[in-house]
Structure formats: C-alpha cells, structure tokens
Amino acid sequence: MANIYKKNKNFSKLNSVLSKIFVDMGLERRLNEVAFFNYWPEVVGSKFDKYSKAVMVRRKEGYDILMVAVSSSVVAQELYLYKQNLLDKVYKLGKPFKFNIKDIHFNTKLWENDYFTDHKTDKKPESAIKTFDKIPLSKDLDEIVLPENIIQEVEQSLDGHKFVSAEQREKMFMTIIKDIKAQIWMKNNGFPCCEECGIPLKRYNTTKDKILCSSCEFIYLTN
C-alpha cells in the first residue's frame, strides 16, 4: 500500500491532536468501528440505509451491542422485525473486527446528533442548538499530514482482517484516513469536542450541563 503521508513541520502539533483522539478513545477499537460501520448500508439494504446508521459498539460483560441510530420509531419498529436476520449478519461481519455482537439496539435519540448523520427529523428548537456548518474541502484534508506511526497502525489494523479483496482493503484504508483527518481538521478549526471522549461535534445542545456526543450522553444517561 503506497504511503503518500510523510512527516513535516506540523508533526508535533498533529501528533498532540492524534494522541488526544486515540489515547482517549482507544486506537484499535476506533479504527475497527470506523471500518465496520461502513458495512451497515450493505447489511440493512437500500430501503433503510438513509434512515438508519450504525454509530456505536457498546461493550457489555462478555459481548457487544451494536447501537443503531434510526430516524423515527416507525423505522425502529420495521427494523425490529428483521432484527434476527440483521444480527446474524453483523455477528459474522463483526468477528474480523474483534467484536462479539449479540444484540442490536435501535435508538431514535442517537439520530439527533449531527456527528452521526445529516438526515434529520423532529429537530430540537434551534434556540437550544449550536450548529457548526463549515465542512473541510478536499484541499483542506490534503494539507493535513499524518505521522508515520499512525499510518502504520492503520495499515496493520486492516492487514489483520480478511477482506474480500485488496481493493476493498484499500477503500477502507482511505475511509479511515479521511475520517482521522476530518476529526483533526474540526479540532483545529474550533469545533466543540465531547467532554468525555474528545470527539469533535458539528452541533451540541446549549441547555445541557456538559457538551457530550450522542454515544457518551447515551452511556451517561443509562448508567
């Protein structure tokens, strides 16, 4: 796999940002989630791929739960009818990514955060939401140069998976790299970050005591 990402004068700054992203979140698990979630449209099919999105793998004692954001309770009910079939698929797909998924939860509240999806229904009053609409251009991401050790860790993580083809592995590599760069760009451009995991957010609720991503807020409310 060609390595076009070389160190430059921004290494120290980027390394600091990456340390926050990956030390706090756990590099391998995060990379596995990024790659694994890309399979959700194939799992759920074209009927539901615009109205649902895999957003989190939640650890439980001895197994994992796949958290799926859904646009409405109607979509949740329909997907629930296919739950066993979906579970069979994600269980098999999750194994190479070191996930032991034995349950799926469909949740409408997870749909409310722009970090997970841009398809919205039933938005909260705008007065309570602070939104950051700026998005990185391709040239912005191209200017971000990742440290060599991060590139190597991404490659090693993907090399351990039994993907269908080298082309698919390359696609996953580029998707993960783009995701990492997008997070760095958001951090460098003043986007607010979740106070628990450090993930940059496109929007947050100003009425809450803490700025939290949907995953951390969900865990906080259910613990």
pLDDT in tens, 115-157: 444 444 444 444 577 777 788 899 999 998 888 877 877 777 6
Here the tokens at position 74 are 């109607």
Nearest to 116 by CA among 223, 217, 14: 217
Residue range of the domain that includes 70: 11-222
Tokens 């993960």 belong to which residue? Answer: 176
- Any residues with CB less than 8 A from the CB of 162 and at least 6 apart, and which? 96
Query: Taking the CA of residue 151 as centre, how many other CA atoms within 13 Å lie in the half-sphere pointing to its CB?
Result: 16
Q: State the Cα–Cα distance between residues 147 and 120, nearest whole angstrom.
A: 36
**171 found inside a domain:** yes
DSSP for residue 200: B
Dihedral sign, CA of 103, 110, 210, 195? positive
- pLDDT value at residue 12: 42
Query: Could you count the other beta carbons within 10 Å of the beta carbon of residue 24?
Result: 13
CA dihedral 84, 37, 33, 2 (to 10 degrees): 140
**6 found inside a domain:** no
- pLDDT value at residue 77: 95
At 156, give phi and psi (nearest 5°).
-65, -40
The total domain count for the chain is 1
pLDDT in tens, 177-210: 888 888 888 888 888 888 877 778 877 777 677 8
Give the C-alpha distances (Å, rounded to integers) separating 41 from 11, 48, 117, 176, 222. Answer: 35, 8, 13, 17, 27
pLDDT band at 222 (very low <50, low <70, confident <90, very high): low
- pLDDT value at residue 91: 92
pLDDT higher than threshold 80 for residue 14: no
Q: State the Cα–Cα distance between residues 31 and 193, nearest whole angstrom.
A: 19
**137 found inside a domain:** yes
- Average pLDDT of the residues of the chain: 76
Query: Could you count the other beta carbons within 10 Å of the beta carbon of residue 43?
Result: 19
* Residue positions counted in the chain: 223
Percent of the chain with pLDDT over 70: 71
pLDDT band at 70 (very low <50, low <70, confident <90, very high): very high
pLDDT higher than threshold 90 for residue 16: no
